[in-house]
Amino acid sequence: MSDSPLAELVQRLPELRLLTEPGDLEHYGRDWTRRWTPTPLAIALPSSVDEVQAIVCWANELNVALVPSGGRTGLSGGAVAANGELVLSLERMNRVLDFNAVDRTLTVQPGITLQAVHDAARGNGLLYPVDFAARGSCSIGGNIATNAGGIRVIRYGNTREWIAALKVVTGNGELLELNRGLIKNSSGYDFRQLMIGSEGTLGVVVEATLKLTDPPPLSQVMLLALPDMDALMQVFALFRSRLSLQAFEFFTDHALHHVLAHGAQRAIDGDYPYYVVTEFDAVDEKTQEIALATFEQAVEKGWVSDGVLAQSDAQAAALWRLREGITESLAPHRPYKNDVSVKVSAVPAFLHEMQALLTHEYPQIEVVWFGHIGDGNLHINVLRPDDLDEVAFVAQCDHVTRLLATTLQSHGGSISAEHGIGLVKRAYLESTRSAAEIMLMKGVRKVFDPNGILNPGKLFMDN
Ligand code: 2HG
Ligand code: ZN
Ligand 2 midpoint to CA 410 (Å):
23
81 and 133 part of one domain: no
Q: Is residue 439 part of a domain?
A: no
How far apart are the CA of 419 and the centre of ligand 2, in A? 8
Among 159, 336, 339, 377, say which to mutate for ligand 1: greatest number of ligand atoms within 8 Å of CB.
Answer: 339
Domain boundary at 162, 177, 211, which?
Answer: 211
**Looking at the structure, do residues 242 and 274 belong to the same domain, yes or no?**
yes
Query: Is the residue at 261 inside a domain?
Result: yes
Protein residue with least CA distance to atom 6, ligand 1: 150
Compute the distance between CA of residue 280 and CA of residue 29 in angstroms, rounded to an integer.
40
Which ligand approaches the C-alpha of residue 158 most closely? 2
The CATH number covering residue 340 comes to 3.30.70.2740
pTM of the complete model beyond 0.75? yes
Same domain membership, residue 284 and residue 380 = no
Report whether pLDDT(1) > 70: no
315/365 same-domain check: no
3-state secondary structure of 113: strand
Mean pLDDT of 165-191: 98
**Count of other CB atoms within 10 angstroms of residue 443:** 9
309 and 338 part of one domain: no
Contact 42, 17 (CB under 8 A): no
User: Mean pLDDT across the stretch 51-73?
Assistant: 98
Q: Let me know if residue 453 belongs to a domain.
A: no
Pocket probe for ligand 1: among 130, 370, 415, the residue whose CB has the most ligand atoms within 8 Å is 370
- Residue 110 and residue 191 in one domain: yes
Instruction: Say how many domains are in the chain.
Output: 4
Pick from 138, 249, 327 the residue to mutate for probing ligand 1's pocket: most ligand atoms within 8 Å of its CB.
Answer: 327
Instruction: Name which residue sits closest to atom 9 of ligand 1, judged by CA.
Output: 327
pLDDT > 70? residue 259: yes
Q: Residue 457: inside a domain, yes or no?
A: no
Residues 342, 312: one domain? Answer: no
Which ligand 1 atom is nearest residue 372's CA? 2
Task: Assess whether 233 and 179 both reside in one domain.
Answer: no
Say how many Å lie between the CA of residue 370 and the centre of ligand 2.
Answer: 8
Last residue of a domain, one of 62, 92, 122: 92
Residue 438 forms part of a structural domain: no
Residues 5-28: tens digit of each pLDDT: 999 999 999 999 999 999 999 999
pLDDT mean over 217-226: 97
Kindly report the three-state secondary structure assignment for every residue of the chain.
Answer: CCCCHHHHHHHHCCCCEEECCHHHHHHHCCCCCCCCCCCCCEEEECCCHHHHHHHHHHHHHHCCCEEEECCCCCCCCCCCCCCCCEEEECCCCCCEEEEECCCCEEEECCCCEHHHHHHHHHHCCCECCCECHHHHCCEHHHHHHHCCCECCHHHHCCHHHHEEEEEEEECCCCEEEECCCCCCCCCCCCHHHHHCCCCCCCEEEEEEEEECECCCCCEEEEEEEECCHHHHHHHHHHHHHHCCEEEEEEEEHHHHHHHHHCCCCCCCCCCCCEEEEEEEECCCHHHHHHHHHHHHHHHHCCCCCEEEECCCHHHHHHHHHHHHCHHHHHHHHCCEEEEEECCHHHHHHHHHHHHHHHHHHCCCCEEEEEEEHHHCEEEEEEECCCCCCHHHHHHHHHHHHHHHHHHHHHCCCECECCCCCCCCCHHHHHHHCCHHHHHHHHHHHHHHCCCCCECCCCCCCCC
Q: What is the pLDDT of residues 334-370, one digit of tens each?
A: 999 999 999 999 999 999 999 999 999 999 999 999 9
- On whether residue 463 sits in a domain, the answer given is no
C-alpha 165 – ligand 1 centre gap (Å): 27
Q: Are residues 344 and 317 in the same domain?
A: no
pLDDT at 3 (0 to 100): 76
Q: Which whole number is the average pLDDT over 41-64?
A: 98
CATH of the domain at 269: 3.30.70.2190
CA–centroid distance, 14 to ligand 1, in Å, is: 40
| Side-by-side strand order, sheet with 274-281 | 306-309, 219-226, 274-281, 245-252, 366-372, 377-383, 336-341
SS3 of 89-115: the string is: ECCCCCCEEEEECCCCEEEECCCCEHH
pLDDT of residue 462: 81
Give the distance (Å) from ligand 2 centre to CA of residue 128: 18
State residue 174's pLDDT score: 98
Rounded Cα distance between 129 and 121, Å, is: 9
Q: Is residue 437 part of a domain?
A: no
- Closest residue CA from atom 10 of ligand 1: 379
Centroid of ligand 1 to alpha carbon of 450 (angstroms): 34
- 249 found inside a domain: yes
Confidence of residue 81 (pLDDT cuts 50, 70, 90): very high
Ligand 1 pocket by Cβ (under 6 Å)? 75, 132-133, 327, 337, 371, 379, 381
The ligand 1 atom at the shortest distance from the C-alpha of residue 337 is 10
| Whether 320 and 339 share a structural domain | no
Ligand 2 midpoint to CA 307 (Å): 23
CATH number of residue 166's parent domain: 3.30.465.10
Residues above pLDDT 70, as percent of the chain:
100
Task: Tell me which of 307, 327, 347 is where a domain ends.
Answer: 327
Task: Tell me the CA–centroid distance for residue 19 and ligand 2, in Å.
Answer: 32
Q: Name the residue range of residue 66's domain.
A: 5-92
CATH code for the domain of 22: 3.30.43.10
Residue 60 pLDDT > 80, yes or no?
yes
Q: Whole-angstrom Cα distance, residue 152 to residue 131?
A: 6
Reported as a single tens digit per residue, the pLDDT across 298-325 is 999 999 999 999 999 999 999 999 999 9
Q: How confident is the model at residue 463 (pLDDT cuts 50, 70, 90)?
A: low
Q: Are 376 and 320 in a shared domain?
A: no
> Are both 311 and 338 inside the same structural domain?
no
Q: Which of 31, 326, 338, 375 to mutate to test the pocket of ligand 1 (most atoms within 8 A of CB)?
A: 326
Ligand 1 closest atom vs CA 324: 4
CA of 377 to the centre of ligand 2 (A): 8
